[in-house]
Structure formats: structure tokens, C-alpha cells
Amino acid sequence: MKQPPLHYRIAPIAPHSHQFAVTLTVPAPQTGGQRFALPAWIPGSYLIRDFARHVLSLRAEHQGQPVAVEKIDKHTWQAAPVTGELVLHYTVYAFDASVRGAYLDKERGFFNGCSVFLAVEGQTDRPCVLEILPPEGKAFRAWQVATSLPAQATKASGFGRYRAQDYDDLIDHPVELGPFTRLHFSACGVAHEFVLAAPCLRLDEERLVRDVQRICTQIIQLFGEPAPFDRYVFMTWVTVDGYGGLEHRASTALMCSRDALPLEGETGVKSAYRQYLGLIAHEYFHAWNVKRIKPAAYAPYDLHRENYSRLLWAFEGITSYYDDLTLVRAGIIDPASYLELLAQTLTSVARTPGQQVQTLEASSFDAWIKLYRPDENSVNCGISYYTKGALVALCLDLHIRRETGQRHSLDDVMRALWQRRGRDFYQGKPEGIAEDEWEAVAEAVTGLPLKPLFDAWLRSTAPLPLQELLASVGVRSQWRPSYGTSDKGGWVDSTKPATGVWLGLRSQNEQGWARISQVLAESPAQASGLSGGDLLVALDGLKISASNLDTLLAPYRPGDTVQVQAFRRDVLKSFTLVLAAQPEDTVGLKRSDDDPARHSAGQAWLGQ
Ligand code: ZN
């Protein structure tokens, strides 16, 4: 017998006080008393967030009469047994200015299902209807709805009813509400929407659409048509300094800064726009790699507790590798610009002492307690599976290309994983990738014995053979000292005057002062006793500001001794530092055409 769907209704009842009201109707509750639970985390962001802490009030009724509800753990409620329809009413506080939660004020609303929709235990595989109501009042007349959920019965504004196959589907389509800008385009025949929540004065819409369309086409063609969705929605909240994104099966929620958008009359790809396009490519690539090709540990997700996998390097690292690579392959940036981005990733990993402490598999496994919970010592004890994962992906790609005489590449491995595990993920009985399966597929596709490389690159802290592999595609590497705190990496033709001396600390601007964020292991700063959190005051009697450290250090040479004063909490302390030489931890990359075979391998790699 086909049972009626679960019915969720959400209304932005009080934009000024950031509250959504939700009504959940369960046609056939469990006989012993229906349990309801809110997820403790949102897929794609591996940290326990306990969304239930924002549930403000909750009550249940049956045939108009109140039903007792008891809270039985931090995110689970149980209603007393009833026969027939049970209705739950609750409100949720929504003021999370990120892509991971829910937000509501008079300008805009946004929610992820994980923050607002209680799962009906034992019935999470049933279809759902979602009804989205507009806020009341003249001020909200221009509000619309954007979401990748398929509509069932909606007005032109988008308010109305949507449907979801099951709970997992319901919470995988974030919803944007407000008077936003909506652009449309098609890629490989698939309809795409591009939503920008913010007034965008003089936005070069044509250029933005053209560039994003190229990215989408490039990625669809990499995995092979057809795309795994009928429609895809990009939604970006534009703020003063926002940055971030979260992937979903047919959409992504993004944040970017105002200066990242291309304006009419601008030419060239400014670096904030390049970064935003890289983020777009990253989240779009995830629609294949992690939303469909996914670890068995996430199939299905257990949303009540941490889900452990040693494969996050493959899902985040490989996606990070392909995001910027997509921009050059799609012709949006040139090879020199791509190599600058790659050099910055190499530099970032080279400047992380934790790469000699934590393996990539350990970084993946411990995401929940390490990468997502950074502190002042993270740089010394851990490595990001995004950055080092991207470098392993690069090494794997270049190794496969070289060892198979350019017949195979990482693209073939991704396509094989797609065919084997990803393509049909949301149809039938989905199975994810077993922890040892990724490596087996890579060996089978390429015919190469890759196990020793995986052992070295994923399960040890041995350095990666980056210089040698980059040389195989005609890319020269330059390892040099940093020329100052703003130097993030990149090729330097002339010898710029390097600061010469090194403290081994990083700081953040705090109202014009420099607050130490990290002290690197084995550095002069660490040896002196300086620590993360200390507020720098003076160097040899001269005031240290947030931006003058390079200037203050310019006259010194390695081996010189300096006195530094700093506040630890409210106690002024003095530290003696013996300055060291700048380590050669800054990387530049440049193409060379000295060797035609290598140059043409590089052309193929970069899609030129
Ligand atoms: Zn990602």
C-alpha cells in the first residue's frame, strides 16, 4: 500500500528576530511513540555542530489535541503514542552567517534542511513534500525562492510545494529566499541557475555566465555526458569578506566577497575573481566526486555522530586539484596564472611543519577533531587533506601520464570510479567506495603498480617528488626564500631583496596591532618562548604594528639577536630571539619549452 508522504511546511515568521516556523505532519506515526531527530552535522563539513541547539520551542498535536513530547537526548524528541496523523510544530533560530546552517533577516533567508527539518525516525526513506511560505508583509513582496528541489506546485515567485524522494534528498537542496538576482544558462543541454544574494551594481553578467558555463561544460565532459542532474543551481551570498562553499547533489551554496565579482568594463582575471571561479569549479566537481562517488562510510550518512573515512584526501584533495586545473583547461586563465596558483599550494604545504608529523590518511580520519577544529598549534601537528591532497593528486596525475607514455591520466581513474560507483548513485541501492577500493581502481585502470606510491604519499610523511614530476611536463621549479610576509609563492625573475631573516611566526591584525596566530616548530620565535595568542608590542624598542614587521627586520642579518616585548594576556613579557636565515620554503613554477616532448606532455596536461 502506498502511504502519503511526510509533509514539511516552513515559514519565515519573524525575519527581524531570525525565526523560521516549521510544521511537520506524519500521516502514520510509529505505534510505540514517534521519535524525531535533527542531524548533528551537515554532509560536506566534517564537524559536530548540534543543529538542535537552535530549536526554540516544540509541541505536538493529534486531532487538534496536544500530545506529550519528551526530549530523550541532545537532538531527539519522542512523542506519546497516537493512532493516526501526528503534527509537530516548532520554531528554529536562524542567524548563522555561513553556508552550513540557516539564516533569516529582513534582507534574506537561507536554510539547509539539516538545520530545520527533523527526521522522522523509521520513516526516512519515505517521500516528502516541502511547502515554502513567503514572509508576511509588503516589505517582502519581491522575495523569491531558489532551490534545486523539483517543484510540485509553485507560484512564479517560487513559493509553494516541492517534492523530495526521501529525507536524504530533502536535506540536500539548500533554499535561498529573498529579492536576489537570478541568471540562467545551459551547459551540455542542462539548465543552470546562478543566484546572487546582494545588490550587484554594474555586474558583468554576460562574462560571469560565460565563465561559469565554460567550467560546467569542462567538468561534465570530463566525466562524460549526460550530467547526473536535470537542473543545477548555484547560490552565492555576496558579503564584504565572505568566502566558502558547500556541495550538494544538484546545487551549491557559496559565499564570496563583493570585490570577487566581475564588473562591466573590467578585463583580465583579477585574483579575487579567479579564486571565486575556482570555488565554483570545486563545488561543481563535488556533484560527481563525493556526492555520488563517495566513501562507503557515507553511504548512507549517519547524521548522529562522526563518520570516519581515510579517503577524504581523494574527495577534497582531488577536487581541489581539479578546481583550478578546470580554469586553465576551460581557457579562463592561462598556464602561467595556473602555475602561480599551483606554486601557492606548494608553498603553503612547504611552510607547514605538520606535514612531517601527520600523514594524509590520518588527516582525513581525524578531520572531525583536527582540520575542522584548528588552533595555534595545528600548523605544527597536522596537514590539510585539501592542500597536500591536491599535491598528491598532481603527483598521481603526472606519474600516470609519464609511466603510461601519456596514454592514461588521473582523468581516466575518475571516469572509471564514476562508471563503477557514481553514475547511478541515487538510483537503486547505492554503495560507496570501500576504503581500499580507490587505490585498486587506480591500479586496474592504469595497469601501474601504484601501491608503493600510495604507501609513501598517503601513509607516510615522506616528501612528494614534485620537482621531478613537474619537470616531466616541462615545468621548472624554483625554491627560494620568501621576500616578505605578503609573499605567498610564485616565480621571481630578478632576485628581489629578501628580508633575509626569519622569526617563524604568523600574526593577525588586531586593531592595528599584531596578534600571534601561530609559532612554527623549530623556529627562533618558538625557541624564545613566544606563543600563539601573544600580542606583539616592540622589537628592540620600536613599536610593532600589524604591518611593519618586514620593515623593522630589514636591517638585521641571520645570527643577530633581538629583544621582543609582547603581552601574554595582560602581562608584559620580554623575549630574546636569535634570528635565523629565511628557509627556502617559497615556490615558483614556470613552463619551459627546452624539451619538445615534455612541453607537449605539458600542453596535454593543461588542455592547451
Ligand atoms: Zn570541497
pLDDT score, position 495: 62
Beta carbons within 8 Å of 143's beta carbon, 6+ residues apart:
109, 134, 135, 157, 159, 177, 178, 179
Enter the C-alpha cell of residue 462.
615522506
pLDDT score, position 584: 94
Centre of ligand 1 to C-alpha 214, Å, is: 20
Q: What are the b/e assignments for 558-568, b being 16+ CB within 10 Å?
A: eeeebebbbee
Please give the single-letter amino acid code of residue 182: R
pLDDT score, position 496: 60
Q: 98 burial class (0-12, 13-18, 19+ CB within 10 angstroms)?
A: middle
Centre of ligand 1 to C-alpha 283, Å, is: 6
Centre of ligand 1 to C-alpha 282, Å, is: 6
pLDDT score, position 131: 98
Q: How far apart are the first and last CA of the chain?
A: 57
pLDDT score, position 422: 86
Centre of ligand 1 to C-alpha 577, Å, is: 40
pLDDT score, position 493: 82
Beta carbons within 8 Å of 267's beta carbon, 6+ residues apart:
none
Centre of ligand 1 to C-alpha 393, Å, is: 14
Do residues 261 and 273 touch, judged by C-beta distance below 8 A? yes
Interatomic CA distance for residues 247 and 291, integer angstroms: 8
pLDDT score, position 198: 87
Residue 237 to residues 39, 103, 114, 240, 274, Cα–Cα distance (Å): 24, 11, 19, 10, 17
pLDDT score, position 485: 87
DSSP assignment string, 529-583: T--TT-EEEEETTEEP-SS-HHHHHTT--TT-EEEEEEEETTEEEEEEEE-EEPP
Interatomic CA distance for residues 484 and 554, integer angstroms: 10
pLDDT score, position 484: 87
pLDDT score, position 427: 82
Centre of ligand 1 to C-alpha 227, Å, is: 19
User: Which residue ranges in the chain fall short of pLDDT 50?
Assistant: none
Centre of ligand 1 to C-alpha 445, Å, is: 25
pLDDT score, position 14: 87
The single-letter DSSP state of residue 225 is S
Centre of ligand 1 to C-alpha 316, Å, is: 5
pLDDT score, position 497: 59
Centre of ligand 1 to C-alpha 400, Å, is: 24
pLDDT score, position 498: 60
pLDDT score, position 200: 84
pLDDT score, position 199: 83
Question: pLDDT digits over 587-602, tens only?
Answer: 999 999 999 999 999 9
User: Among candidates 361, 289, 294, 291, which has minimal Cα distance to 326?
Assistant: 289
